Chain A
Amino acid sequence: MNMSVGWVFFYLLVFPGFLFTSVVGLLYTWVDRKVTARIQFRVGPPLLQPFYDFFKLLGKDTFVPEGAPRSIFLGAPLIGLASVSVLSTVLLVSNLFPGQAFAGDLIVVLYLFAFVPIVLILGASSSSNPISALGASREMSLYLAYELPLLFALATIIVKSGGLLKIGDLLQWQWTNHPFLYSASGALAFVSAFLCMQAKLGFVPFDIAEAEQEIMGGITLEYSGPVLAVLKLTKAMLYFTVSIFLTVFFWGGFRSPREGWYHILGWLKPLAIIVLIILIKNTNPRLRIDQALRFFWSIVLVLSIAGFILATVGL
């Protein structure tokens, strides 16, 4: 499909790219904090709290630590923000307008997802703070731990659909047959991808790289002011993007060509996934890095490979 350059910029910057994703992402962090508060029998923050936090951070000073390369330390969060914007645009456009997807956008999505931890590692290890460096090394190990099960989970649905590599085609397959989640192999793939995404977001039980009580925020330790705001915004946008990712690849997308109420109900799917993530987050203690590695390389990897094998025999 041919799109004019103006539309591409509109998609990237306004809807469904940067602006839309950041607003919804910040609202998602409010949902996160509110549900967490309700689970602990607290009242929780007001609706606009994430926006107050964001604008407050924009108005504060920024420190660049002595010995940190300025360009990498300050540039890394911006690259992260840009990659998450593109990522959410690709995912949302492929669901809203399936015809406008390009060949191999699934591979692009995978690479853009890999960008976020890489950028965090880059920023943290350039900050010349030993505790940040510790956080960076943990983030790296965690990334190595969850990447392989995630790839197997995606390979499962590709095999299941008969080798489709376009997100639009995968959605079309789910609309004509059934969402991958409702088959044995797809369910296994969903569970492993879900756990990988929990680790990708850096949430409890996999918040080892940030571990506030232990290494003082780890990878974000040295960031302050507007740069921290960019990091928080990236995190919020990633939150939204992850829920869209799981919905699109395993649950038939948030928007299907069926008519009526289904249009509105479809947007509740990402929200349901988020609530599940929050519940897991609030009912589990933090793992150590070796426990997390063992968990991903034994249980989750076995789950995803089992799903893959089931998919090859057509279940």
Chain B
Amino acid sequence: MLKKLKKAALARSLWIYHVAASPCNNCDIEILDLLTPRFDVERFGLLLAASPRHADLLLVTGMVNKKVLDRVLRVYAQIPKPCVVAAVGSCAISGDLFVDSYNFAGPLDKHIPVDVYIGGCPPKPEAMILGVMRAIEKLKKLKDL
């Protein structure tokens, strides 16, 4: 009963922390679009959190390079669990055209568990909303948190 309440509340109130792991900034601009009147994700209880300690949903954009990897891991460790991680954009998912780069540290899911993949270069805001909805569905199906 208590677990059910916990899960239902978490699925309705995901606070976002957004890590730019050496992106080209295009995905980040599209993420900010989510908060504008046109898309308004606050309808689903999503808010931008000021600090990773307040966050539940980690959005990682950009190809993760060797220098920024340590920071991504640290931010992930600072988010109180349970939390959801989304890889936003082709770079975070696969490295895209940077696969052969000398400082590419591997796709994001090699380093931290990723729950949702939102593809695109950059993904449209609609695609991101769909991704977040998938994350919420995934949360609801989980047996325990």
Residues of A within 8 A of B (CB): 33, 37, 40-46, 49, 51-56, 58-63, 210, 212-213, 216-217, 220-225, 228
Contact = CB atoms under 8 A, between A and B. Distances in A.
B43 A60 contact: no
Given A40-B37, A45-B45, A223-B53, A52 B80 contact: no
A55 B9 CA distance: 6
Interface string B1-18: 000011011101100000
Given A45-B42, A212-B50, A56 B80 contact: no
B107 to A, nearest CB: 27
A37 B45 CA distance: 12
Given A37-B40, A37-B42, A43-B43, A224 B53 contact: yes
B103 interface: no
Contacts of A220: 50-51, 54
A49 B50 contact: no
Contacts of A56: 6, 9-10, 12-13, 56
Interface size class of B (residues with CB under 8 A): 20 to 34
B80 A225 contact: yes
B82 A33 contact: no
A40 B43 CA distance: 13
Interface in B73-129: 78, 80-82
8 contacts: A42-B37, A45-B45, A46-B45, A217-B50, A217-B54, A221-B50, A222-B51, A225-B80
A49 B12 contact: yes
Nearest to A232: B54
A55 B5 contact: yes
B145 interface: yes
Contacts of B45: 45-46, 49, 52-53
A127 to B, nearest CB: 10
Contacts of A60: 10, 56, 80-82
Contacts of A41: 37
A216 B50 contact: yes
B81 A61 contact: yes
Nearest to B7: A59
A45 B43 contact: yes
Given A49-B13, A61-B81, A44 B51 contact: no
Contacts of B8: 52
Contacts of B9: 51-56, 58-59
Given A44-B43, A60-B10, 8 more contacts: A40-B37, A42-B37, A44-B42, A55-B9, A59-B145, A217-B50, A221-B51, A222-B51
A235 B13 CA distance: 18
A228 B40 contact: no
Interface string B33-46: 00001001011010
B51 A217 contact: yes
Nearest to A54: B9
A221 B53 contact: yes
Contact of A61 (B13, B50, B80): B80
B78 A63 contact: yes
Contacts of B48: 212
